[in-house]
Amino acid sequence: MASEAEFKGKVAVVTGAGNGIGRACALAYAREGADLGILDREADALAETADMLRSAGARVTSVVGDMTDLDRVVSAFANVRETLGPVDILLNNIGQTARENYSEFWLAKPETLRFVVDVSLMTTLMCSRQVVEAMRERRTGKIVSISSDSAMNGDIGCVDYAAAKSGVLGFTRALARELGPFGVNVNAVCPGPTKTRAMQRIPKDSYERARNAIPMGELCDPEDIANAVVFLSSDKARFITGQTLMVNGGRVFY
């Protein structure tokens, strides 16, 4: 973890902050002194996160909306800049599988493929685009994107998700090369199966298979991901960029 008050005076934006990994990361940033811009499509969940962050002492701006809508993305980041100031840290956390439309690729519908790619890849590109120009000009900033170890493992039934999350990794590496000369770090974290609402909704036998595939014998806690994200967002990661950090209990090595 970063030292105490590592992010005092800094502004962090967390997308998909209403639950799970996003909420855990937002709370971790707040505990380290950051002020937070939080984005999510679920108003009630986002309001709960905002209350938690304020209790931790953070100034908070919350924006409810669908981040696959470019106009909404642009207005959300403008709102954060106007109320909190320039963005120092961006955590791209939005993403999901096809969930109830999960299928092997030969059965997949084009609209499902498009949805997964839009949610799990395009949001990362569009949100990052809102901060890179100012970070480049200020010659400072951290961008961390949540990918998935599914991008490495190639899980059956998750072809669309694996493709999108692999795209996040390619984006991370290319952007790191572009922004390295300007002192901006760009990295990715690949969680394995994690104790989130999505995992709670899957059939029990699928849950057990996921757990049994992990050498450490349990699913990841959202806080495990938050610890990695905070490190990559901190000055301790000053010379780390373009990298992929696996946080999956050994399910996939990279």
Please, are residues 120 and 68 in contact by the beta-carbon 8 Å criterion? no
Catalytic site includes residue 161: yes
Tell me the DSSP string of the chain.
-PPTTTTTT-EEEEESTTSHHHHHHHHHHHHTT-EEEEEES-HHHHHHHHHHHHHTT--EEEEES-TTSHHHHHHHHHHHHHHH-S-SEEEE------GGG---GGG--HHHHHHHHIIIIIHHHHHHHHHHHHHHHHT-EEEEEE--THHHH--TT-HHHHHHHHHHHHHHHHHHHHHGGGTEEEEEEEE-SBSSHHHHTS-HHHHHHHHHTSTTSSPBPHHHHHHHHHHHHSGGGTT--S-EEEESTTSS--
Relative orientation angle of helices 70-84 and 123-138, to the nearest 10 degrees: 40
The 10 Å Cβ neighbour count of residue 192 is: 24
Interacting residues of 215 by C-beta distance below 8 A, sequence separation 6+? 249, 250, 251
Which entry of 102, 161, 207, 254 is annotated as an active-site residue? Answer: 161
Active site (catalytic) residues:
161
